[in-house]
Structure 1
Amino acid sequence: MLVNGVEFGQIITIFIMAIALGLDAFSLGIGIGMKGIRLVDIFKISMVIGIFHIIMPLMGIFMGQYVSLLLGNVATAAGGCLLILLGSHMVYSSIRGEEATSFDHRSLWGLTIFALSVSIDSFSVGVSLGMFATDILLTVLVFGLFGALLSVAGLLVGRRVNGWVGEYGEAFGGLILLAFGIKFLL
């Protein structure tokens, strides 16, 4: 079944990956929110994260398309391996308990570093997706939307709860990416 030239299964896959990538912003947002944050800062941080979740996978997709042209069928296996490595690293970081470095989210530099740190995995996933036929506009807009929404949710939750949720959010996102990497290899 096709919806505007994109298969329904592909749309579901894009949404699941967007949620998995957004969980990183969610988990780090909880930590920032627990320090105390104003609503205007939540809006600002979330918009910047949403923009980075559009730009980074877009750059990755174009790089992945280039690599795909160079490598052909090997690119699919490389993309799957990349997702497996990224997912494994997210799970490992969560188990190890690596904390985000402290920064001033109100400064332009701090906001940029934070947005880049939670969006860098979107670049890697974009490289993998660029090796496959995907609707670029749909993919990056969904990634940006979920990056922004989940960062808002994380920042708001962080204002209200203890830190245990953040660890599990990153681990769950890593497991999803790991599963898609294995799927691409099979």
Structure 2
Amino acid sequence: MLEASAQWGQLITILIMAVALGLDAFSLGIGIGMKGIRLLHVLRMSILIAIFHVLMPLVGFYAGEYFSSLLGQVTSYVAGGLLLLLGAHMIFNAFRSGETSFMDHRTFTGTLMFAFSVSIDSFSVGVTLGMFRTDLWLTLFAFGLCGFLMSVVGLLIGRRVNRNLGEYGEAVGGAILLAFGLLFIL
């Protein structure tokens, strides 16, 4: 019974983290969608985001396993610190003013850069999860699916709503990662 409870706890944690990471794609997708985007570009961009939301934590996961073997008992503090830094960074970026767009989302290169930029935080979380030996395939599936679905929803909503909603989504994702960082440290 205790083992089943631990498995449910791990599943819930992975899903919450997947949603938190997907909020970045959601919030930035709203901004892109507000600039005007065709449905074909929504699909293309969301598929690339899903791919990066799988690849980045995969690389991070193996890096985390390596660091875990090096760090030993300090692992949970390092992992918690990484999540704290990542969460704080997401919150800071959410409220940073004067952000300029340096890429055209309609080009393949622009779409690739956008997908990479919203997935880079998945690498850090992958490092953290690699330190704790979570279920790799479940994690990758959840991250990829949430990244895809939340980017589709963000891009489609962006076609219809105002610009202020986007920054709050990234801030909420950052707050969730901050909370998990504190849980790992305490």
TM-score bracket, normalised by the shorter chain, equals over 0.9
Match of 1:115 in 2: 115
Match of 2:173 in 1: 173
Shift of 1:98: 5.8
Shift of 1:106: 2.5
Distance (whole Å) between structure 1 residues aligned to residue 146 and residue 98 of structure 2: 23
Number of aligned residues: 185
Structure 1 unaligned regions, length at least 5:
none
1:58 pairs with 2:52:
no
Once the two structures are superposed, what CA deviation does each residue of 1:38-61 show, in whole Å capped at 9, x if it has no partner? 111100000000000000001000
Q: TM-score normalized by structure 2?
A: 0.95
Match of 1:160 in 2: 160
SS at match of 1:118: helix
For the aligned residue pairs, the C-alpha RMSD in angstroms reads: 1.5
1:49 pairs with 2:75:
no
Q: TM-score normalized by structure 1?
A: 0.95
Shift of 1:102: 3.7
Structure 2 unaligned regions, length at least 5:
none
Regions of 4+ moved over 4 Å: none
More helix by share: 2
Tell me if structure 2 keeps the 8 A contact 1:23–1:173. Answer: yes
Residue 60 and residue 100 in structure 1: after superposition, are their counterparts in 2 closer, same or farther (change >3 A)? farther
Distance (whole Å) between structure 2 residues aligned to residue 112 and residue 6 of structure 1: 37
Distance (whole Å) between structure 1 residues aligned to residue 6 and residue 100 of structure 2: 37
Distance (whole Å) between structure 2 residues aligned to residue 111 and residue 94 of structure 1: 20
Residue 98 and residue 66 in structure 1: after superposition, are their counterparts in 2 closer, same or farther (change >3 A)? farther
Once the two structures are superposed, what CA deviation does each residue of 1:129-169 show, in whole Å capped at 9, x if it has no partner? 11002000000110000001000010000000001110100
Match of 1:139 in 2: 139
